[in-house]
Amino acid sequence: MSDCLFCRIVRGEIPSAKVAESASCLAFRDIAPKAPTHVLVIPKAHFDSVLAVEDGPVVGDMVMLAQEVARAEGIAEGGFRLVINTGADGGQTVGHLHLHVLGGRGLKWPPG
Ligand code: AMP
């Protein structure tokens, strides 16, 4: 996926504010944060969405890196939210699987 925005971030062709990294995943700050902490955790390999994932490890790896981010950002104790928007109705705007890590304020439920 040579022209995928997040693949280009993984390759370092587009700058990002990196927060953490594992062998399979990268975490960087969302360019338009919706909360005091808003980090995106993505697999380095391309998946169009969560529907393209055919086995569990990649999602587990994303959650493990999200845990690390939440602790490092100081939001683990107070609470935070993990979100994977999927498809048009789900609000997905970038076609590369990503997990939003949101925290640092009280988050409302249900989402809009
Ligand atoms: P979604 O709407 O769930 O697909 O989330 C895509 C997210 O990517 C949005 O929250 C955008 O603000 C964020 N985003 C788009 N371009 C960039 C970028 N170059 N660097 C960091 N975050 C980005």
Condensed to tens digits (0 to 9), the pLDDT of residues 36-87 reads 999 999 999 999 999 999 988 999 999 999 999 999 999 999 999 999 999 9
Structural element, H or E, at residue 20: strand 18-21
Task: State residue 112's pLDDT score.
Answer: 83
Give me the catalytic one of 38, 96, 98, 100: 98
Q: What is the whole-number distance in angstroms between the Cα of residue 107 and the centre of ligand 1?
A: 19
Look at residue 110 in the predicted model and tell me its pLDDT: 95
**Residue 104, CA distances (Å) to 15, 39, 61 in order:** 24, 11, 23
CATH of span 5-103: 3.30.428.10
Distance from C-alpha of 35 to C-alpha of 23, rounded to nearest angstrom: 27
- The set of protein residues with a Cβ atom below 6 angstroms from ligand 1 is 5, 14, 16, 30-32, 40, 85, 91-94
The separation between CA 14 and the C-alpha centre of its own chain, rounded to angstroms, equals: 16
pTM over 0.85? The answer is: yes
How confident is the model at residue 5, as a pLDDT?
Answer: 98
Would you state the pLDDT for residue 76?
98
Catalytic residue status for 98:
yes
- For ligand 1, atom 12, name the residue with the nearest CA: 32
Cα distance between residue 107 and residue 29, in whole Å: 18
The alpha-helical segments, DSSP class H, found in 1-112 are 5-10, 57-72, 87-90
Distance 60 CA to ligand 1 centre (A): 21
